[in-house]
Amino acid sequence: MIVGGGFGGLACARGLAGKPVDVVLIDRRDYHQFTPLLYQVASALLTAPDIAYPFRAAFRNTRNVSFIHASVTRVDLEHRMVHTRDGGSVAYDCLVLATGSENNYFGSPALAANTLSMKTLPQAQRLRNHVLACLDRAIQTADADERRSWPTFVVIGGGPAGVEFTSALTELLKLVLGREYPELDPGSTRLVLVEGMDRILPPFPAWLGRYADRVLRRRGVEVLTGTLVQQATSDGVLLSNGQQIATRTIVWSAGVRATALAETEQASRTRAGRLVTDAHMRLAGQREVFAVGDLAAVTINGTELPMLSPPAMQEGRHVARTILADTRGETPRKPFRYRDRGTMAVIGRNAAVASIGRLHLTGLVGWIAWLVVHLYYLIGFRNRAVVLVKWAWNYLRKDRPIRMITRIDADPLVDEPAQGSQVSE
């Protein structure tokens, strides 16, 4: 049984597909979301179906893989049972925990209550609606101070996600303000990127971070490094440098933590809440229980692997091989080894950074490499084709077509599986 259909859980399920084992995949959503492109949904370039793929469609030709749409609330390791929010329970012989991560607000209820995120598709769609609504409100108010606060956007966190969303939002505002919001002066918008460390893009070499900083500043972004958020409210933020910014939009991209499940609290965890595993991703003292992805703390050369999709996919595939070896009565030949295939971040049109071993790319070359890699890892030919067409349309026509404020009415039958404690990566 696999709990969580993110990159790690899906990679494990695919590794076991068509093999002589029965696989049950459980997730609170009925689709896999391609999280690296969530920021493009939030910035009105792509739609939810473009970067999501239904689990049932992914395994419709695989007889040994079944899917349960439910929220897991508790794992009973002693009796080998997984319990779901609707009162159901499923027994397992082997368990793979791939419940991913969630936003880490570092114990601040104010940050949780007054910031927007893009960790999931609904959050990304909400953020898109919110940004567009802010522009509408800005042209409807006569108060000068309020008119300045609506088109002011603060992004907290200068990692890849924060940088990518900030650059995408810069392009969106540049495209739509002059043509569709003539009442607003293009210079009235303000974008502020706040990073607590001394530079943005900390996972990258320092010079790549400096390159990204220069590109963002040239495009009108205020980049504040070495700065923390002291206070966040519904109408502004107070920064550690004493600066107070009036804004109605605070985007949180400054940290995540591993998602916890009841009955695994006794397992060894790191400070980030990740489960400590052995060389084959097993929990200590639990030969039949594995953890992969953001949930698993894997240390290579004294450094914990980051909460990113490449380690998750490699871990998922390794666990699938280990499980198959166990079913054959064999001892796994090799411990898990992570092959670093690089890290990338796009900084808008014709600009990106990529660190692939000793190879470092910037500018147009890095941007093209980023496009190719992300298209390759998208699930489904239809998704790849649609995303490629939309990217090309936006590049040639400078047009982001998804500029509608949409809302879906709540439905208890639909909403119920998404509630609870299980969160996919």
pLDDT at residue 266, as a whole number: 58
pLDDT at residue 423, as a whole number: 40
pLDDT at residue 235, as a whole number: 94
CATH code (residue 56): 3.50.50.60
- Same structural domain for residues 36 and 137? no
Task: Report the distance separating Cα 8 and Cα 288, nearest Å.
Answer: 17
User: Does a structural domain hold residue 368?
Assistant: no
For the stretch 22-79, pLDDT in tens is: 999 999 999 999 999 999 999 999 999 999 999 999 999 999 999 999 999 889 888 9
- Same structural domain for residues 125 and 86? no
Task: Report the distance separating Cα 70 and Cα 122, nearest Å.
Answer: 17
Q: Where is the domain boundary, 254, 281, 302?
A: 254
Question: What are the start-end ranges of the H helices in 304-351?
Answer: 309-327
- Same structural domain for residues 276 and 209? no
3-state DSSP assignment of residue 112 = helix
- Same structural domain for residues 291 and 414? yes
Q: Where is the domain boundary, 187, 222, 254?
A: 254
Q: Which candidate, 340, 285, 334, places its Cα nearest to that of 308?
A: 340
Under DSSP, the state recorded for 49 is G
Please identify every residue annotated as catalytic.
164
Q: Which candidate, 240, 316, 244, places its Cα nearest to that of 277?
A: 316
- Same structural domain for residues 99 and 114? no
Task: Report the distance separating Cα 334 and Cα 322, nearest Å.
Answer: 9
pLDDT at residue 422, as a whole number: 53
CA pseudo-torsion sign 164, 166, 171, 175: positive
- Which residue segment(s) compose the domain that 173 sits in? 109-254
What are the beta bridge partners of residue 252? 156
pTM of the full predicted structure? 0.93
User: Does a structural domain hold residue 387?
Assistant: no
- Same structural domain for residues 155 and 285? no
User: Does a structural domain hold residue 93?
Assistant: yes
Q: Where is the domain boundary, 231, 254, 277?
A: 254
pLDDT at residue 401, as a whole number: 72
User: Does a structural domain hold residue 380?
Assistant: no
Task: Report the distance separating Cα 282 and Cα 352, nearest Å.
Answer: 37
- Same structural domain for residues 224 and 336? no
- Same structural domain for residues 138 and 196? yes
**Residue given tokens 């500029």 in the structure block:** 403
Query: What tokens does 303 get?
Result: 């450094």
pLDDT at residue 397, as a whole number: 87
What amino acid is encoded at 407 in this protein? R
- Same structural domain for residues 266 and 414? yes
- Same structural domain for residues 133 and 207? yes
User: Does a structural domain hold residue 361?
Assistant: no
User: Does a structural domain hold residue 38?
Assistant: yes
3-state DSSP assignment of residue 275 = strand
- Same structural domain for residues 248 and 266? no
User: Does a structural domain hold residue 403?
Assistant: no
Task: Report the distance separating Cα 359 and Cα 381, nearest Å.
Answer: 29
Q: Which candidate, 161, 187, 147, 141, places its Cα nearest to that of 35?
A: 161
CATH code (residue 202): 3.50.50.100
- Same structural domain for residues 44 and 88? yes
**Residue given tokens 């794992």 in the structure block:** 75
**DSSP secondary structure string for all residues of 392-408:** HHHHHH-----------
For the stretch 139-152, pLDDT in tens is: 999 898 899 999 99
Residues of the chain with pLDDT under 70: 261-267, 419-425
Q: How many domains does the chain have?
A: 2
Query: What tokens does 359 get?
Result: 């190879």
User: Does a structural domain hold residue 265?
Assistant: yes
